[in-house]
Structure 1
Amino acid sequence: MPKLKLGPLIDEKPVKITVELPASLHRDLVAYGDAMGREHGQGAIEPYKLVVPMLERFIATDRGFTKLRRSQTAG
């Protein structure tokens, strides 16, 4: 089984927002949560718990965004 990009989830106090997802993306999140639970020896992870770490990972690995942030804080 390939290693997933996300590691174990940290349980933090959330800020509530409402987001509508396409059904296909929800199905993918459910499948990802199942795979992640198996990889880390847990039960299936609920899709809503995956959204924040996925967005954090996306932002952290976006080189264009990192450059933009650096230029804004340097100037």
Structure 2
Amino acid sequence: MSLKLERLPDRTPVRMTVALDPDLAAALTDYAAIYQQAYGEEEKPETLIPAMLEMFLASDAGYKRARRALRDNARNGD
């Protein structure tokens, strides 16, 4: 059977633990406060971090090129 909608990718969240230096933790807390001022919705830093990382990776052209090459090499058995 052929459907227009492709099979959905795995959407199971992957939990990762990171250690942040105090200055970065404070900056993320401040970002969450500024986010609340801008949008009127309170979000914890840990809720915003995945979206921030996605945006960062999506805007990094060098990373996207290198990742594409990495995947092509893996497919070609290099």
Under a length normalisation based on structure 2, what TM-score does the superposition of the two structures give?
A: 0.66
Map 1:1-20 to 2 at 5 A.
Answer: 14-20=13-19
- Give the distance between the partners of 2:32 and 2:18, measured in 1 at CA: 18
Q: Deviations over 1:6-31 (max 9, x none)?
A: xxxxxx86422111100100000000
- Give the distance between the partners of 1:50 and 1:42, measured in 2 at CA: 12
| Seq. identity, % | 32
Find the counterpart in structure 2 of residue 5 from structure 1: none
Shift of 1:69: 3.0
Map 1:1-75 to 2 at 5 A.
Answer: 14-43=13-42, 45-72=43-70
Structure showing the higher helix proportion among its residues? 2
| 5+ residue gaps, structure 1 | 1-11
Shift of 1:74: 5.6
- RMSD of aligned Cα (Å): 2.1
- Give the distance between the partners of 2:12 and 2:34, measured in 1 at CA: 24
State how many pairs are aligned.
63
Under a length normalisation based on structure 1, what TM-score does the superposition of the two structures give?
A: 0.68
| 5+ residue gaps, structure 2 | 1-10, 74-78
